[in-house]
Each structure stands twice: as C-alpha cells, then as structure tokens.
Amino acid sequence: MSYPRIDLSGALVAVTGAARGIGLATATAFAQAGAYVALGDLDEALAVRAAAGIGERALGHALDVTDKSSYAAFLDAAARWRGAPLDVLVNNAGVMPNGAFLDQADRIDQLTMDVNVFGVIHGMRLALPGMVERGYGHVVNVASLAGKFPLKGLAVYNASKYAVVGLTAATRLEMDGTGVSVSAVLPSAVRTELSSGIDYGILPAVEPEDIAAAVVRSVKTRAAETSVPGYVGLAANAAGLVPEPLMRLLRAAAHDDAAITRVDDDVRRVYLDRIEKQ
C-alpha cells in the first residue's frame, strides 16, 4: 500500500468533538504542525472558544455528528473557510455511559450508537468521495481499546467501539488503490471528562495529548491501528488466545468491573448529566 504524502503545512483538517478532551488536544496538535483546523462540536460556544484559544489557524463550528445534514454543513463551512478541500478528517466525537447492562436506558443506548457509530459513518460518507476523487486524503477514527477488549459496565460502549474498529478496517480495504487511507486510533483510559470518576485500577491512564500525537503521527505512518499505549493494544489482541478460566482470574485481579463498582458517583454525575441532556 502506498499513499501520496500529506504535507500538514497549510493542510485542512476537521476534528469532531473538538471543544474539549482528546478532540481539542488533537486540533491543537494539528495547528502546531502547521495545519488549519476546523473544530466541530455539539457545544458550539465551547468549540468557538476553543478555536479562539488555538488562534487564526482554527475555526469553531456547531456540529451534531448524529445528523448528516449538520455534519455536511460543518464540512462545507470548513472548505469555504479555507477555499480548499479537506485533507484529513478525525472522527473523534463520542460518548461513554457506564453501568450494568440491565440498568441502562434504551435512549442512552441509542445515543451511544448514534454518536459513536453513525457519527463516524456519516463523516466518512461525506468526506471520502471528494478525497477519492482527488486521490488524496486521510481519515482517522478514534475508537478505543474497548473496541478490542470487553469490559463489564461498558457493554453498549464496547459494541459501538467494536463497530468502529470493524468499520475502519473494512473501509480501509475498500479504499485500496484510491490513494486515501482510513486508520483507527485506540486509546486506553484517557484523563478527560468522559472517563471521569471511574477508577480503572491498573489500566494505564494517558493524557489527551498522547492520543493527539498518535493521531497526527498516523498521517505519516497511515498505520491501520495505533493503540495508546502500544503494549495495551498488544495485550488486548493477545487476550483472545488466553483460555477463559485464566482470563477470568486475570480480569478479577485487574478489577475489570471498575465501570460498575469503582465509580465516584458525585464526580461521574457531572459527565452523565451532560450526555443525558444531549
């Protein structure tokens, strides 16, 4: 596989869910690499403020990834802003409700699949045709190690991220020969509001900037999957080879039910209230 090199200097990059967390760190990293960045977010005011914080290389815009026409308006605004087509799309927006599967509300399940899965599908359907026509472009889907490794208390989130991993792998193959790449970045736990209040124990927590660096790096490497930290990705891939009784012992030692049992409800409530209002 070979892809035409993408020069980030002056390139146009769109990042979804960019008002805070991993999306904001990613937008900032792209701007620092010389790109122009469109930050889309459900929280328009925060996206505009975040873009102002980055400077003149950034544009903040309203975006609801679950609504294809909103997504199209965001991408149009980005292209009009620069008078140039999109070079890189980062599908980052996501939500993570937690709790026992049997306690979850149907509408929160629906929201999770709408944002985490259909948001990514909409973005690729809208951005890929132009990239294919030009024979040039890169899409990064921010999945999760929860797209490779099931965790108690995150069943529907697991389902959504497994979907993104599969979607990314299949579309990557379909793009063969077009010059366009599709990659997945799989973070472990990251210190953002999304994971706030959950004590994952031995699972390593990284900073949003670590994920941002991996996303920017993928423009050069075009790697199919990049896990952060890398060794957790190796462990997740190898886990399927471990006999189930042994894996249960390892899971218990690692508190694999943290998303149910090791939750600071007061802290977590702030995040859950935010996604409840979406």
Q: How far is the CB of 133 from ligand NAD (least distance, A)?
A: 26
Of 36, 136, 157, 162, which one is the catalytic site residue? Answer: 157
φ/ψ of residue 215, rounded to 5: -65, -45
Residues in the chain: 278
Considering only residues 13, 16, 27, 131, which one is a binding residue for ligand NAD as defined by CB under 6 A? 16
How many chain residues are in contact with ligand NAD, going by CB under 6 A? 31
DSSP-derived secondary structure letter, 195: G
What is the C-alpha to C-alpha distance for residues 226 and 211, in angstroms, rounded to an integer? 9
Work out how close the CB of 96 gets to ligand NAD at its nearest, in angstroms, rounded to a whole number: 5
| By the rule CB under 6 A, 124 interacts with ligand NAD | no
Site track 66-85 with ligand NAD (rule: CB under 6 A), x = hit: x-------------------
Choose, by CB under 6 A, the member of 94, 97, 123, 233 that binds ligand NAD: 94
Question: With binding defined as CB under 6 A, does residue 112 bind ligand NAD?
Answer: no
For the chain, the farthest-separated pair of C-alpha atoms sits apart, in whole angstroms, at 58
> Among residues 96, 117, 236, 258, which is the contact residue for ligand NAD, using CB under 6 A?
96
Choice from 78, 124, 142, 214 touching ligand NAD (CB under 6 A): 142
Identity of the residue, 132 or 169, whose beta carbon is nearer to ligand NAD in the bound complex: 169
Helix (H) or strand (E) holding 211: helix 208-221
Per-residue interface string for the shown chain with ligand NAD, residues 39-68, x marking contact by CB under 6 A: --xxx-------------------xxxx--
**Under a CB-based contact definition with an 8 Å cutoff, are residues 104 and 156 in contact?**
yes
Residue with tokens 């006999």: 243
Token pair in block for residue 30: 């792209």
C-alpha span between 115 and 75 (Å, rounded): 17
Q: Which DSSP string corresponds to 38-60?
A: EEEESSHHHHHHHHHHH-TTEEE
SS3 251: helix
Let me know if 157 is a catalytic residue. yes
Interacting residues toward ligand NAD by CB under 6 A: 16-17, 19-23, 41-43, 63-66, 92-96, 115, 119, 142, 144, 187, 189-190, 192-195, 278
Q: Which residues are catalytic?
A: 157
